[in-house]
Amino acid sequence: MHRAEVCVTLFDTTGRDGAQSMPRTNEFPIGSKVEIADTMARLGLGVIEAGFPATLPVNGHVGPTETEEVTEVADVVGSGQGYEVIEWMDHKMVASRERTPIIAGLCRVLPDEIDTTWSAIQAADHPRIHTFVSTEDNHREAKFGVDREQLIEMIKKGVSYARSISTGHPGATIEWSAEAASDTDEVYLERSIKTAVDAGANVVNLPNTVGGILPDEAQDRFRKYISWIMGINQDVTVSVHEHNDLGFAVANTSLFVAEAVEWVKTSGRSINIQLETTACGLGERAGNADIFPVVAGLAARSERSDVPIRWQFNPWLAVESGQKIMSVAELTVDRQNPVIGRDVMRHRSGIHSDGVLKGGPLLYAGVRATEYGHSDDAVHEDGRYQGKRGREAAHVANSTLL
């Protein structure tokens, strides 16, 4: 008998949320979206959000527009080409397959923006219209000048329209996001969610847009989100999008997985969830949830969980992919970036080096570094705080490089 499980889709918004957050000197170059999307597809991400096609070009714009760049991603990365991905469950490889990723374009729940987005992505094998509107009162009033009832009607009409124009494409899906969901009145948010699902949304995304929710508050919210959506339609994918203003984006994303596990335990039914992330946590202000620690945490939770957790990812490409994405923006991966930073397997303390040399690299490591693309699981470096054994190991290592 098939066991109920948590099925995880990894969603990348490096080319949209990440791109729009970059300072002028580090903006992704025009024409680089295909490279970014291809890198994340090879890493194993199931959904690639390529951009915001309805973005208007600024005066003096030279080169392809955002619409044209997203179209190129749909044509090149999202059409026909299969990417080999590894499927994981219980921290074990269970399958290898070729898969063409979903290509998403973001738009507000406005018919003209939905039209522009659909035009940009419809050539993909699996196009997704990702439409959104803010449900939080201050956002709603400032950005749209409508009351709650009018916004409900906007959600209904926008999602229904996205569904109607894409219905002839067998691979098309609709995602709806409630911007600032974590700050929205809960009764009204539940009503908004029901409106979107009834109108045809396949995925409901609940963003922590301004990043102000603490982990315990987030976990309580996630429990409610899952209960609401599964009570309406258990085929809908529940998604979160966490910002890092208080430093909790990865932690909150992990707690969402924990709540999905709890729902499976209680209900005995499988659930589909989506984790929205970026490479190295790029994104507005303090950034988004970083894909690399999100996946490492997913693997750790899966290993300890009595509920199967299934996801797809190619971990050995992690270091290479992170470095490649950052280099597109003429940046480098921070040395202490979780999972892929160069210092995650380096030891400069005598106490730590001695322990690792005696007991193995995992004595002082949260992850096995080589599993994520590092060349070694432990590297010892000399310095002020290094001990005799660590200095000897560092000397031997340096000698082999000469």
Quickly list H helices, 329-370. Answer: 350-359
- pLDDT above 50 (res 401): no
Q: What is the 3-state secondary structure (H, E, C) of 78-111?
A: CCCCCEEEEEEECCEEEEEEEECCEEEEEEECCH
How much is the average pLDDT of 306-329?
Answer: 98
Q: What are φ and ψ of residue 194, in 5° steps?
A: -60, -40
Give tens-digit pLDDT for 98-150: 999 999 999 999 999 999 999 999 999 999 999 999 999 999 999 999 999 99
Q: What is the average pLDDT score of the chain?
A: 95
Tokens of 325: 């994405």
Instruction: Locate 21 and state its tokens.
Output: 């957050």
Beta strands in 261-398 (DSSP E): 271-277, 309-312, 346-347, 379-380
The helices-and-strands tally (H runs, E runs) of the chain is 13, 13
SS3 320: helix
Alpha carbons 309 and 303: distance in angstroms, whole number: 9
Tokens of 135: 């449900």
- Which ranges in the chain are annotated with CATH 3.20.20.70? 6-328
Contact 386, 352 (CB under 8 A): no
pLDDT in tens, 194-238: 999 999 999 999 999 999 999 999 999 999 999 999 999 999 999
CA distance 143 to 300: 41
- Helix (H) / strand (E) element for 247: namely none
- What's the whole-model pTM score? 0.96
Find the mean pLDDT for residues 67-85. Answer: 95
- The per-residue pLDDT for range 344-393, each reduced to its tens digit, is 999 999 999 999 999 999 999 999 999 999 999 999 999 999 999 999 99
Residue written as tokens 């951009």?
51
Tell me the mean pLDDT in the region 252-281. Answer: 98
- Counting every residue, how long is the chain? 402
Give the bridge partners for 309, in sequence order: 6
Amino acid at 146: V
> In percent, how much of the chain has pLDDT > 90?
94
The pLDDT, as a whole number, for residue 402 is: 41
The half-sphere exposure of 273 on its side-chain side, counting CA atoms within 13 A, is: 31
| Residue 87: strand pairing partners | 95, 312
Beta carbons within 10 angstroms of residue 39's beta carbon: 24
Instruction: Give CA–CA dist 326/324, Å, rounded.
Output: 6
- At 159, the amino acid letter reads V
Candidate CATH numbers 3.40.50.620, 3.20.20.70, 3.40.980.10, 3.40.1280.10; the one for domain 6-328? 3.20.20.70
Is the pLDDT at 179 greater than 90? The verdict is yes
pLDDT at 395: 86
> Locate tokens 């984790």: which residue?
275
Parallel, antiparallel or unpaired: strands 127-134 and 173-179: parallel
pLDDT digits (tens, 9 = 90+) for 10-62: 999 999 999 999 999 999 999 999 999 999 999 999 999 999 999 877 666 66
CA distance 1 to 358: 45
b/e burial code for range 302-327 (CB count within 10 A of at least 16 → b): beebebbbbbbbbbebbbebbbbbbe
Bridge partners (DSSP) of residue 275 are: 10, 240
**Tokens linked to 376:** 């070694």
- Give me the mean pLDDT over the 161-185 stretch: 97
pLDDT of residue 365: 94
Residue 58 DSSP one-character state: P
Classify burial at 132, counting beta carbons within 10 Å of its beta carbon; exposed 0-12, middle 13-18, buried 19 or more.
buried
Per-residue DSSP letters for 285-309? TT-B-BHHHHHHHHHHHHHH-SS-E
Tell which residue, 31, 100, 118, 125, has the closest CA to residue 72: 31
Report the relative pairing of strands 102-108 and 92-99 from DSSP bridges. unpaired
Percent over 70 (pLDDT), the chain: 97
